Amino acid sequence: MQHESISVLDIFKIGVGPSSSHTLGPWRAALQFLDTLREKNQLDSVSAVSVLLYGSLAKTGRGHGTDIAVILGLCGEDPVTFDVYQIQPRINDIRTMRKMVLAGRHEIDFIIEEDIDFLMDESLPFHPNALTFLATLKTGEQLAHTYYSVGGGFVVKEGESNLKTTSVDLPFPINTSADLLHWCIKTGLTIPEIVMENEHAWRSESETKEIILKIWQVMRECVYKGVHTEGELPGGLNVVRRAAALNKKLLAGKTYSNYDEWVACIRQGGMQFQYILDWVSCFALAVNEENASFSRVVTAPTNGAAGVIPAVLHYYMIFCHGNDVTFDEEKIIRFMLCASEIGSIYKKGSTISAAMGGCQAEIGVSSSMAAAALCEGLAGTTNQVIMAAEIAMEHHLGLTCDPVGGLVQIPCIERNTMGAIKAITAAQLALQGNPYNAIVSLDAVIKTMWQTAQDMNHKYKETSDGGLAVNIPLSLPEC
């Protein structure tokens, strides 16, 4: 049986908002296209490039910044490091000059309005998120390369397998939650320990921990920036950012000058239920307001659901450790390792693409990941951890993806707060329950999620053709 090897670094990717499948994926596809041209020594022979966007990428591509992502990818820019404040100036320069420096070294003519084609009524059979790069060489030869953005920033080239079966042999191959439970029972290791052993197939433990902490650093910076940024979100919906106002209200005049002092101020507010609930919502709002603003975020496992895990992780570190005012890096690493394994099981058994499965594939999966990681962090057994993941997804089944105006704003931002709260509730239910009495398994829920995705009308799969997207006037602010 073929086994897809997925690392924690595949599930958690640093990139730019607002969408992992519509922004980060197409950006990476463009970079892969450049790699192909380099490998064949064709890059400097290119005289023209155009891009065809199909299906969901076409229908909500402008709202998700797909055209912007493709352009920056063709310029050879890295989504992990590119200065997000330079995105619009770069696009404006290309639009004005009608030229692009392909891969940062070879100038060609490029007219954004003509060379990126949104094919609203065309889809390719493999996946709704498809794009084709057409290149004309100076010899007159024409090339066409098609890619699919399959969710979470993962990209598959047409004609190639997306299974990483040849280069990575894992000591504990896992396709299902039953596999995960089997290895934990057989070895006596916890879920994070099993995942770390598998990560050794890619890199050393010290390297893995270092990179995870860098990912955590991006998450916390995103939260902190989000709670201190006011104004309206771009895109024309006139959505007012709320995290900053909520942050001010909850802190009630407390002063601080950095992230650590901010966390200390939050802890001083007490442990009342409503207070904690407001902070969890504030954390999630902050991340996804940043995501909607083309800022740097971490796919978790997608950009549209990027706020759930940071919100739950902040809840775990701030409110679940009594008077301990330090953030334990080992606890953060364990949280991320556990969450990533649950996410990888969903990717293998169902989908993390809203264009394939609706919002259950984004918020539902992220909530399930966060529930499992929180339960593990609060000393849940392996069976309880898997139970927490199951509970969280069970109550997201059938959730549609219907972004108003094709933007990752309404209802996407608030849905992250809902996903975070459901994750915390699911973890608590599992901790207080007996998993041996559970009737529904995680694998059954994942199977059901995939069946639901297949049955779901295409209108509710990130096309903006149904749901709230067709019933909310575009001039209305989010309520």
Query: Model confidence over 284-306: pLDDT tens digits?
Result: 999 999 999 999 999 999 999 99
Q: Give the tokens for residue 445.
A: 């829920």
Is the separation of the CB atoms in 151 and 28 below 8 Å? no
Give yes or no: residues 133 and 221 share one domain: no
Give yes or no: residues 261 and 289 share one domain: yes
Q: Give the tokens for residue 222.
A: 């995103």
Flag whether 163 is in a domain: no
Q: Residue 71 belongs to a domain with what CATH number? A: 3.30.1330.90
H-state helical runs in 320-441 = 329-349, 354-357, 363-377, 382-394, 412-431
Give yes or no: residues 223 and 367 share one domain: yes
Does residue 310 have a cis bond before it (omega within 30 degrees)? no
Q: Give the tokens for residue 292.
A: 């909607």
Q: What is the mean pLDDT of residues 100-109?
A: 96
Of the three residues 128, 157, 186, the one that is the final residue of a domain is: 157
What pLDDT sits at residue 9?
96
Is the separation of the CB atoms in 33 and 43 below 8 Å? no
For strand 106-109 and strand 99-102, is the pairing parallel, antiparallel, or unpaired? antiparallel
State how far the Cα of 456 lies from the Cα of 474, in Å rounded to an integer. 25
Kind plus residue range of the DSSP H or E element containing 91: helix 87-97
Query: Model confidence over 304-324: pLDDT tens digits?
Result: 999 999 999 999 999 998 766
Is the separation of the CB atoms in 72 and 301 below 8 Å? no
Q: Give the tokens for residue 397.
A: 């089944």
Give yes or no: residues 152 and 250 share one domain: no
The whole domain housing 290 covers 177-470
Give yes or no: residues 87 and 183 share one domain: no
Confidence of residue 3 (pLDDT cuts 50, 70, 90): low
Give yes or no: residues 255 and 397 share one domain: yes
What pLDDT sits at residue 167?
60
Give yes or no: residues 96 and 201 share one domain: no
pTM of the model: 0.92
Give yes or no: residues 202 and 342 share one domain: yes
175 exposure class (CB count in 10 Å sphere: 0-12, 13-18, 19+): middle
pLDDT at 326 over 70: no
Flag whether 248 is in a domain: yes
What pLDDT sits at residue 479?
32
Q: What percent of the chain is predicted at pLDDT more than 70?
A: 96
Higher pLDDT, 256 or 477: 256
Q: What is the mean pLDDT of residues 67-94?
A: 95
The number of distinct structural domains making up the chain is 2
What pLDDT sits at residue 478?
42
What pLDDT sits at residue 315?
98
- The identity of residue 52, as a single letter, is L
pLDDT at 447 over 80: yes
Give yes or no: residues 326 and 445 share one domain: yes
Give yes or no: residues 341 and 242 share one domain: yes
Count the alpha carbons within 13 Å of 384 in the hemisphere toward its beta carbon. 17
Nearest by Cα to 460 from 360, 358, 350, 352: 358
Give yes or no: residues 296 and 413 share one domain: yes
State how far the Cα of 123 lies from the Cα of 129, in Å rounded to an integer. 8
What pLDDT sits at residue 30?
97
Flag whether 292 is in a domain: yes
Give yes or no: residues 143 and 236 share one domain: no
Flag whether 10 is in a domain: no
What pLDDT sits at residue 323?
65
How does the average pLDDT of the chain come out, rounded? 94
What pLDDT sits at residue 2?
54
pLDDT at 476 over 60: no
For 74-83, b/e burial (b = at least 16 CB within 10 A) is: bbbbebeebe
State how far the Cα of 17 lies from the Cα of 465, in Å rounded to an integer. 22
Of the three residues 129, 157, 185, the one that is the final residue of a domain is: 157
Flag whether 11 is in a domain: no
State how far the Cα of 101 lies from the Cα of 77, in Å rounded to an integer. 11
Q: What is the mean pLDDT of residues 21-47?
A: 95
Flag whether 131 is in a domain: yes
Query: Model confidence over 110-139: pLDDT tens digits?
Result: 999 999 999 999 999 999 999 999 999 999
Of the three residues 126, 157, 188, the one that is the final residue of a domain is: 157
What pLDDT sits at residue 327?
75
Residue 156 bridge partners (DSSP) = 148
Least confident of 157-166, 192-201, 221-230: 157-166
Nearest by Cα to 158 from 118, 185, 129, 201: 129
Flag whether 166 is in a domain: no
State how far the Cα of 151 lies from the Cα of 357, in Å rounded to an integer. 10
Q: What is the mean pLDDT of residues 46-58?
A: 95
Flag whether 4 is in a domain: no
What pLDDT sits at residue 477?
41
